Amino acid sequence: MINKYMEMKLIAQSPDYSLYHGDARNLNLIPDRSIDLVIIDAPYGIEYISHHRKLKPKEMIIGDDKAISILRESFWEIKRVMKENSSLYLFTRWDMYPRVLELCDSFFDVRNVLLWIKNNWGMGNLKGSYATCDEWIIYAVKGNPELRGGRDHNVLLFKEVPSVKLIHPAQKPVGLLQYLIYKSSKPGDTVLDCFMGSGSSIVSAVSLGRYGIGIDIDEKYVRIAKARLEQITMPLGDLEIEPEGEIVWK
């Protein structure tokens, strides 16, 4: 069947990574069953608005129906390229969670939802609602991969990227991504992020000795990711990453 979406165009390549300008709904240069781990943070409109004050209006709105439709079409491709025993982490929000979970469950075997607790919170309705300081991450698998390290709990404390350092409005912290990459891959494995934004997941993968494949539909972000990756001089190797804080149960 002919795929109607933009074909992948190579922007940068090294022994550690490949970066493409392309559409997650058409992974035409990625062979079937070649990816060990997928980490994605697909676009949801409201997230754009609440995370960054300086965005241009045209960057702010991707409606929820559109976001679900993009995700559904990209899941066909993501499932095709994932190896038989491989893992997927998908960032979402509590208000998108029912729809994203149902969709994810129709393609993959959903194992958990992880709660990422941040060190700060969004604005929202200051008097009428609780301040949101979490993000939800669906952990799903194809086949039966195992997690590495100890049996950790599903509440993860990691600091958010400070707003003055953001180079993408929805930028995720490298420490959190390194933690997920450690748990679900080994050195030399291939990690895919086909909604990579500024490339945080690819930077994290390469820093831990994995091979990273990053794709974004906005070529500006592919170039930003390339610049970030060129700054990695000394990868850490296969380091076990710990959450940055501890949950104190009373």
* Terminal Cα distance for the chain, rounded: 56
The total number of residues shown for the chain amounts to 250
- Nearest distance from residue 10's CB to ligand SAM, in Å? 15
What is the SS3 string spanning 95-154?
A: CCHHHHHHHHHHHCEEEEEEEEECCCCCCCCCCCCCCCCEEEEEEEEECCCCCCCCCCCC
- Nearest distance from residue 201's CB to ligand SAM, in Å? 6
Window of 99-107, 126-134, 143-151, 190-198 that interacts with ligand SAM by CB under 6 A: 190-198
Q: Does 147 bind ligand SAM (CB under 6 A)?
A: no
Whether the Cβ atoms of residue 181 and residue 208 lie closer than 8 Å to each other: yes
Q: Does 218 bind ligand SAM (CB under 6 A)?
A: yes
Among 18, 87, 92, 198, binds ligand SAM (CB under 6 A): 198
β-strand pairing of 82-92 with 134-142: antiparallel
Among 11, 19, 41, 158, binds ligand SAM (CB under 6 A): 41
Whether the Cβ atoms of residue 233 and residue 214 lie closer than 8 Å to each other: no
Q: Does 204 bind ligand SAM (CB under 6 A)?
A: no
- Tell me the Ramachandran region of residue 40: left when phi exceeds 0, alpha when psi lies from -120 to 50, beta otherwise: beta
Instruction: Indicate the residue among 104 and 248 with the shorter CB distance to ligand SAM.
Output: 104
Window of 104-112, 142-150, 212-220, 237-245 that interacts with ligand SAM by CB under 6 A: 212-220
Window of 98-106, 125-133, 181-189, 213-221 that interacts with ligand SAM by CB under 6 A: 213-221
Tokens describing residue 183: 């748990």
Residue numbers at the binding site for ligand SAM (CB under 6 A): 23-25, 41, 43, 70, 168, 170-172, 194-195, 197-198, 200, 215-218, 221
